[in-house]
Amino acid sequence: MSAVYSIRDLAREFAVTTRTIRHYEEQGLLSPKREGAVRVFSNRDRVRLKLALRGKRLGFPLNEIRELFQLYDLAKDEKGQLMEFLAKLEKRRATLEQQREDIAVMLNEITFFSGQCQRLIASNANKEGQKAA
């Protein structure tokens, strides 16, 4: 007999809300069986949830995670799936590299304007000190 998990079991294990798990189910990432009104998740669902959460941490939107799962479900071998995943990883890497460059530019601008503000404050304080004297 294979392992089964309740929604609470998975929520506790992965430190997510049951609402998150239900959302992933609605998005087609998980497909639990029903025993009456109760969801029963298989080990396959558990692994998919783990992978989906990992994908989210890497910044993948749910629709891309779903596409990868679908590719895996249809693949005769792993090569196609791995090639697609590699392409998505490289695209994500390029996006993050661009964001890192954009952040560096913004931080430099913040440093520049912060320095200008500090110089203006110091200059105004000196002028006020001279007036008081």
User: What pTM was estimated for this model as a whole?
Assistant: 0.68
Distance separating the N- and C-terminal Cα atoms of the chain: 89
Model confidence pLDDT, tens digit, residues 61-108: 999 898 888 877 776 677 877 888 889 889 989 999 999 999 999 999
- Specify the 3-state DSSP secondary structure of 133: coil
Tell me if the domain spanning 1-58 has CATH number 1.10.1660.10. yes
Q: What is the pLDDT of residue 104?
A: 97
- Burial of residue 5 (CB within 10 Å: 0-12, 13-18, 19+) is buried
**What pLDDT is stored for residue 62 in this prediction?**
92
Q: Per-domain residue ranges for the chain?
A: 1-58, 75-133
Which one, of 24, 119, 17, 36, lies nearest residue 63 by Cα?
24
Distances (CA, A) of 55 to 1, 65, 125: 29, 7, 52
Percent of the chain with pLDDT over 90: 61
Strand partners of residue 39: 34
